[in-house]
Amino acid sequence: MHKLFRLTTIDQSLFGLLSGQLRFLKQEFEVVAVANDSGILKEVAEREGVRTIGVPMHREISIAADCRSLVALYKLFRRERPYIVHSNTPKASLLSMVAAWAARVPHRIYLVTGLRFETTHGVLRLILKTMERITCLCATKVIPEGDGVKATLQREHITRKPLQKIHHGNINGIDLEHFARTPEVMQRATEIRNGSEDFTFIFIGRMVRDKGINELVAAFDRLNREMPATKLLLVGKFEDELDPVLPETKQIIENNPKIEFAGYQNDVRPFLVASDVAVLPSYREGFPNVVIQAGAMGLAQIVTDINGCNEVVIEGQNGVIIPKQNEEALYDAMRRLATDRELTARMAASARELIATRYRQEDVWAELLKMYNNLKLY
């Protein structure tokens, strides 16, 4: 049985992005999951039934720490001799593709989920683009998560390798049996709403500038002054060391009683059901899971016109698409959906079916396995 290594930078990504997939793949491969171990790797091993290995890796750029990670991965690959190394998330992909190339791993697959250079400028943009080019150069196969990522890779001349997404895009698809309005989920959602009849917007994700939190909080604060029967539910955690939000944004969150900060949640389903509209005003994405999850739970959405988001949301059918980094457009969209309840209900009614026809987990997994099995045997 061939050995398949799956890598992400942090173990939270393995746990959240690849749920169920590793267990599925172990039917035909000896699967090993690798990431920085913050304590969640044990949960990945138990849930997926695969071996896990912790290798220190960090999102921020640090030449000394990154070199140590690179050496550790090289030694790991030389010792374990995997047949396939398949990585996603930027730092893990760069390090693992270089290390796997040096260790002569036959198949090195880079799944491009997002391109950080898109929202940067100057020297940092040049550094990040160079990192992407090196990652693609060392890979034997480059897979864009969606059409938007593919177009960016080609437009920015990152790689000349053939680019083909898996199925309709997305890393893992959606488990429609899990993301459903079960009695247990509905009961928990009732508890979260706690009798409130406020029209509720929800954001799920990292609480960072890059996710459009500054614009979202400012737009909602303005809307809430005009429409007091509205609420904003924030689900996620702040990452002040990497991409902090503005001090005034935090101040509004703390002072506005209609903004509820729920922190990080392992199960977002009841929070989605407790809401009316999901909002993701990101500056960049690869192919965001939260947009698929919100659609599967039957919510209308407001998203920015960026990679991934504009592939899942169809303007006027299951949501509204707005320009990125545009507080005024975000305010207008939020006000429109809070005011026109019939429009919101119509979009919500079609949301789940649009997801089910394109992103069923079983279909994504089958296409991924087919891709693995089509690799040339050595």
What integer pLDDT is reported at residue 315 of this predicted model? 96
Dihedral of CA 181/185/187/191: which sign? negative
pTM for this model (two decimals): 0.84
Supply the pLDDT for residue 310. Answer: 94
The predicted pLDDT at position 59 comes to 87
Q: Crossing angle of helices 289-296/341-356, nearest 10°?
A: 110
CB 238 within 8 A of CB 232: no
The pLDDT value given to residue 74: 98
- Torsion angle in degrees (nearest 10) through CA of 83, 87, 92, 98: 50
Sign of the dihedral defined by the CA atoms of residues 68, 69, 73, 79, in that order: positive
Beta strands across the sheet bearing 300-304: 259-263, 230-235, 199-204, 277-280, 300-304, 319-322
Is 299:258 a contact under the CB 8 Å cutoff?
no
- What type of residue sits at position 29? F
Given a contact cutoff of 8 angstroms between Cβ atoms, the answer to whether 161 and 141 are in contact is yes
Strand partners, 123: none
Report how far apart, in Å, the C-alpha atoms of 166 and of each of 28, 172, 187, 198, 229 are.
19, 10, 36, 40, 43
Annotate 116-125 with b (16+ C-beta within 10 A) or e (fewer): bbbbbeeeee
Question: Nearest CA to 112 among 285, 368, 358?
Answer: 285
Backbone angles phi, psi at 245, to 5 degrees: -80, 170
pLDDT tens digit sequence for 112-141:
987 888 878 899 999 999 999 999 999 999
Q: Give per-residue burial for 73-104: e unless 16+ CB within 10 Å, then b.
A: bbebbeebebbbbbbbbbbbbbbbbbbbbebe
| C-alpha dist (Å) from residue 2 to 5, 28, 96, 200, 378 | 10, 8, 18, 49, 11
How would you write the pLDDT of the chain (378 residues) with one tens digit per residue? 899 999 999 999 999 889 999 999 999 999 999 999 999 999 999 999 999 999 999 988 889 999 999 999 999 999 999 999 999 999 999 999 999 999 999 999 999 987 888 878 899 999 999 999 999 999 999 999 989 899 999 999 999 999 999 999 888 999 999 999 999 999 999 999 999 999 999 999 999 999 999 999 999 999 999 999 999 999 999 998 888 999 999 999 999 999 999 999 989 999 999 999 999 999 988 888 999 999 999 999 999 999 899 999 999 999 999 999 999 999 999 999 999 999 999 999 999 999 999 999 999 999 999 999 988 554
Q: What is the pLDDT of residue 25?
A: 96
Query: What per-residue confidence (pLDDT) applies to 376?
Result: 58
The identity of residue 186, as a single letter, is: M
Query: Tokens 């429009």 belong to which residue?
Result: 343
Domains of the chain: 3-173+361-373 (3.40.50.2000), 183-356 (3.40.50.2000)
How far apart (Å, rounded) are the C-alpha atoms in residues 292 and 281?
15
